Every structure is written in C-alpha cells, then in structure tokens.
Amino acid sequence: MSWRRKSCMRKLKNMFIKIPKDNDNFSWTKHSLEKMKFYGLSAQRVTRVLRAPERVEEAVAPGCLAGMQTVGNKRKTEIWVMWKDKIKNQKSNIKIKDLNKYKKLIITAWRYPGISPKRQVPIPEDILAELEKMSVE
C-alpha cells in the first residue's frame, strides 16, 4: 500500500470515528477525544484498555493512573490511557468503602511505538506540554 493511500485511509478513518458521550461509567475530556482522533483510537479500544490493562502505573499527573495494552505482532506498539477515578455520587453520605463504583475521567490516550520501560510512563512531549498548559488555566 502506498503512503498516499495510507494517508487517505487514515484521514477517512478519523472522519468516521464516533465521538463518545459521557455516561455513568466514563467521562471524556476534550483533550482525550482529540488524541483519540489523532492516533486513530476508538472509544471501545480505550475502554478495553481501562477494563483489562496489561500494566498499570502511577501517572505523571497527581492522583491519576495510566494503563497500557500491547498491540501488533511484527511491529509492537502500546496503547496508553491516563485516567482519574471519581466517586459517582459525591452528594450522598455513603462511605468510600461501601461504594464500589467509580466514574473514570479519561484524561488522555496515546500510542507508544515499541515497548516502554517499566515503571516509567512514556508520555510524549507534546502531551506533557498540553497537560501543563491545561493545569495552568
């Protein structure tokens, strides 16, 4: 397949990605939706990484977690998702121990080419810059 055809197919794929809506279990940031479009990730793929990650590590952002799954046979890549757990119903007087359900705020998602070193979350520099920009605002 030529590079022009690949580029055209990638653009078409990005045009037809369904934008996920917030529900009882997941909440999506605008940043995560943009990165999903950029890396060609569907909402189902991101939620699959959340449900069954191969590795979970503490993320760079405070109070957040990052999980990953490997993809591919010949050319291995990793799909990383950063999220933050929030209590679903914060107004009720239910103790956290009794509350088994958390709503996950999906902050960002990205592809890492190759296999990342363990205990070091590989966040691309452009995503780090955007996260710092978001925290300042």
Give 65-117 pLDDT, tens digit per residue. Answer: 999 999 988 889 999 999 998 876 555 554 545 445 678 999 999 999 988 88
Place 137 in a pLDDT band, splitting at 50, 70 and 90. low
Output the pLDDT for position 127: 81
Give 2-36 pLDDT, tens digit per residue. Answer: 656 666 566 656 556 678 888 888 999 999 998 99
Output the pLDDT for position 99: 44
Long-range contact set of residues 82-86: C-beta below 8 Å, sequence gap at least 24: 82/106, 82/107, 82/108, 82/109, 82/121, 82/123, 83/50, 83/107, 86/27
Question: Considering the entire predicted model, what is its pTM?
Answer: 0.69
Output the pLDDT for position 8: 58
